Amino acid sequence: MKLAFYPGCSLEGMANDYSQSITAVFRNLDIELVEIEDWSCCGATAAHSLSELMAVTLPARNLAQAEKMGMDIVSPCANCYNRLRASQIMIQKRIFDVPWKITGKIEVHDMTRFLADPDMLERIMTRVRKPLEGLKVVCYYGCQMVRPPRITGYTDYENPQTLDRIVAAVGAKALDWSYKTTCCGASIGIGRRDIQESLTARLLDKARQANAEAVVTSCPLCQANLDILQRNETESTIPVFYFTELLRLAFEPGRASRKWFRMHITDPVPLLRIKELLR
């Protein structure tokens, strides 16, 4: 199986650990990811804040590149996924025309939903060599992956299950909580730190209240916010994993790279040691 991979800008920088764990996990799953040739930024929130034209045309270039390759796109970043889908829909409806040829025939997958497909889950389960037993996590989806449903195609947008299923497939316990899709504040912290901190702190509090030992997410920006802004000295810290890091831990016990965990601000190694998932 071959897929066009659209990494997005943060996977080259802040989320390099995510990027490396994705490569490792997809190798384990025998799925070939071909990076979209000479991809460019999707424009993220900035483009659609300042110019609708840019918001549609910037992602469209990547859609066109992938169509040239003739493969479906898979996107690991929630915001990229949202922007690519939104752009594709606008072009399909002929609301915008773009300087590239786009038929809109290829599909844009978000990575978690792609892997939460029943066939894929089975494939994941066959690869597990050390189930992550006893690890209690809450899955955090954020906004852009699930909302608005008319763009993302999620039907269970109030209580999405994709990450929960994936995490359960590798043996960890996904706890129920009510803040799966509550916004983490995205990039508002750069201009308004107070808003950012209040939103992030609430999520972390609720995760603790649910008795979670870790948060699992798939969005680079959510991970960064939750990981970096654990300021509260009185509370215990709570590691924030990318779901692919957990998959790799289950697939290749002992060989899961310490390098990724060293990139986390909130150190996850003590927890993994207690759970005997890492030596």
Options 47-55, 109-117, 168-176, 244-252: segment touching other proteins (CB under 8 A) = 47-55
Closer CB to other proteins, residue 13 or residue 118? 13
Is position 13 an interface residue for other proteins (rule: CB under 8 A)?
A: yes
**Residue 216: what are its φ and ψ, rounded to 5°?**
-115, 130
Burial class of residue 268, CB neighbours in 10 A (0-12, 13-18, 19+):
buried
| Torsion, Cα of 259, 260, 264, 267 (10° steps) | -70
Q: Which is nearer to other proteins, 186 or 250 (CB)?
A: 186
Judged on CB neighbours under 10 Å (0-12, 13-18, 19+), 240 is buried
Q: In angstroms, give the least distance from the CB of 22 to other proteins.
A: 16
Is 16 among the residues that bind other proteins (CB under 8 A)?
yes
Among 54, 89, 121, 269, binds other proteins (CB under 8 A): 54
Stretch that binds other proteins, among 4-12, 69-77, 162-170, 233-241 (CB under 8 A): 4-12
- Nearest approach in angstroms of CB 212 to other proteins is 20
Site membership for other proteins, residue 191 (CB under 8 A) = yes
270 near other proteins, judged by CB under 8 A: no
Between the alpha carbon of residue 253 and those of residues 132, 203, 246, the distances in Å are 10, 30, 10
The footprint of other proteins on residues 61-120 (CB under 8 A) is 61, 99
d(CA 255, CA 146): 33
Residues at the contact surface with other proteins, assessed by CB under 8 A = 9-10, 12-14, 16, 38-41, 43-54, 57-58, 61, 99, 143, 147-149, 157, 182-183, 185-188, 190-195, 199, 228, 262-265
